[in-house]
Amino acid sequence: MSESRVPPKTVLLRRGEVHSPADPFATAMVVERGQVAWVGSEGPLTPLPTGSTK
């Protein structure tokens, strides 16, 4: 049986509550390749258009 490879995705999760000692007031996080890459406030993210992948 061969295992299909899924290309790594970057996922932005926002408008939530992120429980992290790195930022106790975080409302957003980025997950890359299954690892948390960033945690913080979604304030700096608001200029990004909906559906943006960059």
Residue 26 lies in a domain: yes
The pTM is what?
0.64
> Quick one: pLDDT at residue 51?
57
User: Looking at the 3D structure of the chain, how many domains does it have?
Assistant: 1
Query: By residue range, what is the domain housing residue 27?
Result: 10-44
Neighbours of 28 (CB within 10 A): 20
Judge whether residue 2 has pLDDT over 60: no
Residue 4 lies in a domain: no
Residue 2 lies in a domain: no
Helix/strand/coil percentages in the chain, nearest 5: 5, 30, 65
Tokens of residue 45, six digits: 């993210």
Share of the chain above pLDDT 90, in %: 50
Question: Mean per-residue pLDDT for 1-28?
Answer: 84
Residue 33 lies in a domain: yes
Judge whether residue 22 has pLDDT over 80: yes
13 strand-pairing partners: 29
Residue where the block lists tokens 């408008």? 15
Question: Mean per-residue pLDDT for 14-28?
Answer: 93
Residue 54 lies in a domain: no
